[in-house]
Each structure stands twice: as C-alpha cells, then as structure tokens.
Amino acid sequence: MAALGVLFYHFQVSQAQGAQYDLVGWLWSDNYGWVSLSPDNCKLPDCASGARDYGVKLDSSDNFFGWAWAANVGWICWGRTCSGTTPDGAAAQAALDRVGGRVTGWAKIISLADDGWIDLSSQDLPGTVVKGQMCYDCEPKCLRWTVQCVGEGAEQVCENVEPCLEYSQTEFEKCNTCFSETLFCLPDGTCQQPAQALDPVAGGSGYICSNCSNECKKDPVTTERITCNNCSGCRQYGVSSEVSRFGNGNILGWAWNGLGSALASRVGGAGWLHFNTGKGVFVVYPWLETQYGSIYTSKEARQKAGAVSNNATYCIFAKDIKRIRSARCEERVITDVNINFPNLEAEQVYRNALGKLDVAGLVTKYRESGGRQYNKFGNEIVRIAGLGEIAQGGGSIYLDNKVYVTSGDLLVSQEYSFNNGAKYGNGTIVVSGDLIINSNINYNGGLTTDLKQLASAAWIVKGDVKIGGNVQKSAGAFIILGKDNTACAKEGGAEADYPRYEANHCGVLFSGSSNKALTIYGLAIARAFDFRRSFAKAQQGAERVIYDGRLVANPPAGLSGFTEKLPVIRDFAY
C-alpha cells in the first residue's frame, strides 16, 4: 500500500483566460514517418532540429498555433502561426469546437511551400448516415439516479435528478465521435480498401461522424470497441477531440496533405496523417500530481484531460475515476474502509480510518511551569499573531516540538524556512481562522542522523487555506478542518460541470490563480480542493504534492495518534 499523498473529496480545475496548453504526442505520416508535437515527447536528437524550441499549443480561445517537427520533412506550422493563403483562399487558422470536439483548419509543411498545406477536416457530407464501427467520447447510460421527492404521502412526487449514482459499463446514450469502416481515400472521393483485410481501427480515412446514437454499446467480442447503429454529421475524413465530461481529452482522426495546387487532384506529399497512433495525441491541461503517495476519496476523482497511455504517477482509490489512468495499482475502489473526512466528536477529537486528531488537547493548557503553558501531551503552547514572532535571521524557523496557536487568521507575507533543530525539528501550528500564504514556505534543513531533529511541520487550520498565485513552494502537512457543518460548494455559474467553492471557512484549499506551478512538500487533507493553476506541462502537474515521509519519520507535536495508521515509505512495485 502506498503512503498517503492526498485525501480529498472534491476538486475542481478551470481553464484560465489567457492560458496556453501544450499538445504532446506523435502523428504518423504515410510518406514522412513520425511527427513530434512537443519536445517533451523524448530527449533524443531526432526529436528536434538543433536547440530551437517548438511545440503545438491550444490557447484559451481554443485556437491551435505553434510548431511541430518531423525528422524527414522539417518544420510544420499550425494555425495562425502559418503565413500565406490556404487552399480555400482564407488566412490560416486551426480551432477546436469544444461543444462537439471537431477540429478544423490547417497546418503547413514549410519545406513543401504552397504544396505543404495539411487539411485537418474535410467538408460535411449532408444526409450521410452510417454505422459507427469505432466510437469515442461516449456518454454511458445511467442505471441508478439520485431520487428527489417533493411533498408527503399520496401527494409526494419523485423524479430522477443529477448526479447519476451508477453508470453502465457496456451501454451508452450517445457518442460524440465515431469512425466508419477503414478506407484509404483521395480527396476526390476515390477510395480503396486496405491491401489486407483489417478490422475498423481507431481512425481511418473512412467517414468520421458525430451525433452517434441508437444501440451504442461495447462489442461483446472486442470488449474495448464501442459501436453505434446510426451516425450523422459525417465528413469524409477529419480530426476530433474527446471534450465531453466523459471523454479523456485525446485528439484522434486523420488529416490530409498531397502535392498539387488543386485540392481534388493532390497526390503524394505527406499523404494521410494519423493522430491516434497508439502513442497518443492530447492536450495537456492543468493536472494534479502526487509523488510517493496515493489519492484516497470516498467520492469522485477526475481531471480535465487525459491520455491513451498512463498519466498518473500514483494509485487512486475512489468511487469513480474519470480521465485518469494509472498502471501503479489494480484495485481502484475503497469499499471497506471509512475514509470520510475526520468527524468532529463531542470531545473535540477528529477521527477517521487514518487515526485521531485531538485538537482540543493540543491547544488547551494542562499545566503551567515557569510561566510557560503545556498541553496534555507535554508540548509547550505558544500564542502567536504571526510567524515573525518565532522566526530568526533570514526567516528561519526552528519549531522545537512546540504547538503554536493563533487567535484568528494567519498571514504569511514573507518567505520562511523550517530548519532542522538542535534538539527537536518538529512542531505544529494551529490556525484558528484562515491560513493566507502569499510567500514561499520551505524545508531548509540539511542531513541529520537524529530523526528528532528533522524539520517536520504540521498546519491544523480551522478555516480555509488560501495560497497566492505567486507562491510556488509550500511545506508541511496541511490538515484543513474548517468550520464544522459549513457548506463549501456554490452550484451553477460558468463551470456547471464543477462546483465552485466559496471562501467561507469551510475547509477548502485554494491554490490561487496563476500560470506558475505549485509544489507542496508534505501532504494535504481538506474538505475540498479548488485548483486554479493554469500551468500545463506533460512532465509536471500544475499542483504537485510530494509526500516526503516527514510526518511519519518525525511526527509534529500531538500528531502521533493521527500518523500511527499511515504506512511507511518503502521501495516496492504494485
């Protein structure tokens, strides 16, 4: 079992205005071989020409731009990055329709000059209705709804409402994108079957259709294939992205480039460019990353976009998982362990399956000696208004196994570092209101042979944690309890697919709006997470939680009862 990385109940992400998101993955050209969309694909010399930076991106208005690289043909511009007039007589553009997932517009192979235009979508074929042999971005049928009743007795009226409590794994209401049989066609409409008989594949230059319905279900033989009986909104070929809340963000389909000035007569060139190659093409939206730990939730875990391959560095235990794939574990659902948010009991002790947290015992004076107050665990209680009262030169803090308590909110307005102590390096900071972090907080201790000296901080927050957008590092175990029985979510608004969380002290971690990445060294437990970072790279999450084991190695004051059931870190494989 993995060490605890993040325990959470809801999280939300947003597409920030002005953000730019990378495409990663590879295209395959019939005639020119592999095309790389990002330098993050690999570190080999043939991934790019020289040291020039490149990459295809999607902006917040859903327009593609930037550069791809093919070792055999050179640079390929996308959308507005391209100059000149496209074969349809317009200025270059390439866009994603977020409603249906259709990709339209142009890219261009620079070395082929005016013969290098790549058509990302053919024209619609009105009246065409076909069977979808390979379908994607499908909405599963709901087997069990939430039931909402109004009135009492004989006058009671009940109806099924969102959310769905159980989805079918084999039947679907509809699919946004389906491909017909695999054909290899020229843009003039001349088509031929492949040289050898092939099953329908993920793509193909046969029809690509939307609005697919009627008996959408998984093939009983090839269980990963979904078919639909009726598809309309067809094109001869094209590219689409899985954009619905049930999709995983992949981009799939076929584009075309051939030599010759007339679109209908072009042959040669790059030929068909296949997006769904097995290596995958997808947009990297902001994503959550944990290292050396797992995610536990009794509800839902989801991310904005995913990949055909594994995109999780952790094991996930959840009721429902959307758009996240992990090879690190097999069992995904917690069914026999109570991992609900710690319940507040009458004696002011919070409990769940991980253990107990006696907040009242931490902050209440049990005895007094030499003018100093001590709690029942033997830790000195120090009342503070800010971290500056316990910091030394350069913002260094030595926690010294004490409990620091504020009477209200705590504002962190300058950079601080938790250092290894001469005797003790652990400590707990109890914030009676909100914790507002506007500067970096670090672990700055070097090596020590005595674990008691290891810097190890815990933040127990009775309100919300609000992290400023400029903050890039924060250290400690964040246990965000909030006010009991206070609602966090505010429904509706522009992002109806995600609840909006209010800063009303209910126990939410707000990561702050920014295009910078945020790394938390420790762990985070909260009623809800509001992730607002727009940083998006394939190799690093927008918000990253690195579980470093300090909470177990040197538990902060009063937390030994909470950490007694946390697993230790070991080298292992699932």
pLDDT at 469: 94
Q: Do 291 and 281 sit in the same domain of this protein?
A: no
Q: Do 163 and 78 sit in the same domain of this protein?
A: no
For residue 198, what pLDDT band results from cuts at 50, 70 and 90? very low
Please write the tens of the pLDDT for every residue from 148-188.
Answer: 898 888 889 999 888 788 889 899 999 999 988 665 555 55
Query: Does residue 269 sit within a domain?
Result: yes
Q: Do 271 and 294 sit in the same domain of this protein?
A: no
Query: Does residue 155 sit within a domain?
Result: yes
Q: Do 480 and 356 sit in the same domain of this protein?
A: yes
Query: When comparing pLDDT for 497 and 145, which is higher?
Result: 145
For residue 530, what pLDDT band results from cuts at 50, 70 and 90? confident
Per DSSP, 89 falls in state S
For residue 570, what pLDDT band results from cuts at 50, 70 and 90? very low
Q: How far apart are CA 294 and CA 286, in angstroms?
A: 19
Tell me what the mean pLDDT of segment 399-428 comes to.
95
Structure-block tokens of residue 383: 């009342």
Structure-block tokens of residue 281: 């093409």
For residue 197, what pLDDT band results from cuts at 50, 70 and 90? very low
- Strand residue runs (E) in 219-305: 226-235, 239-241, 251-259, 267-274, 281-283, 288-291, 294-296, 300-302
Q: How far apart are CA 451 and CA 554, in angstroms?
A: 6
3-class DSSP state of 489: strand
Residue 330 has a CB neighbour count (10 Å cut-off) of 8
pLDDT at 93: 96
Query: Does residue 266 sit within a domain?
Result: yes
3-class DSSP state of 118: strand
Q: How far apart are CA 31 and CA 67, in angstroms?
A: 19
Query: Does residue 152 sit within a domain?
Result: yes
Q: Do 152 and 180 sit in the same domain of this protein?
A: yes
Q: Return phi, psi of residue 61, to 5°.
A: -95, 10
Query: Does residue 478 sit within a domain?
Result: yes
pLDDT at 537: 80
Q: Do 473 and 371 sit in the same domain of this protein?
A: yes
Q: Do 495 and 545 sit in the same domain of this protein?
A: yes
> If you average pLDDT over each of 146-160, 309-323, 346-360, 426-440, which comes out highest?
426-440
pLDDT at 105: 96
Q: Do 221 and 145 sit in the same domain of this protein?
A: yes
Per DSSP, 277 falls in state S
Query: Does residue 407 sit within a domain?
Result: yes
For residue 223, what pLDDT band results from cuts at 50, 70 and 90? low
Query: Does residue 573 sit within a domain?
Result: no
Q: Do 28 and 107 sit in the same domain of this protein?
A: yes
Q: Do 507 and 408 sit in the same domain of this protein?
A: yes
Q: Do 215 and 312 sit in the same domain of this protein?
A: no
pLDDT at 380: 95
Query: Does residue 558 sit within a domain?
Result: yes
Q: Residue 161: which domain range?
A: 134-230
Q: Do 212 and 265 sit in the same domain of this protein?
A: no
For the cut 60, the answer to whether the pLDDT of residue 195 exceeds it is no
For residue 4, what pLDDT band results from cuts at 50, 70 and 90? very low
Q: Which of 207, 230, 253 is the last residue of a domain?
A: 230
Structure-block tokens of residue 547: 């579980």
Number of domains in the chain: 3
Between 246-250, 257-261, 352-356, 530-534, the lowest mean confidence (pLDDT) is in 352-356
Please write the tens of the pLDDT for every residue from 47-98.
Answer: 544 445 789 999 989 999 999 999 899 999 999 999 999 998 889 999 999 8
For residue 438, what pLDDT band results from cuts at 50, 70 and 90? very high
Exposure string (b/e) for 542-566, b if CB count within 10 Å is 16 or more? bbbbbbbbbbbebbbbbbebbbeeb
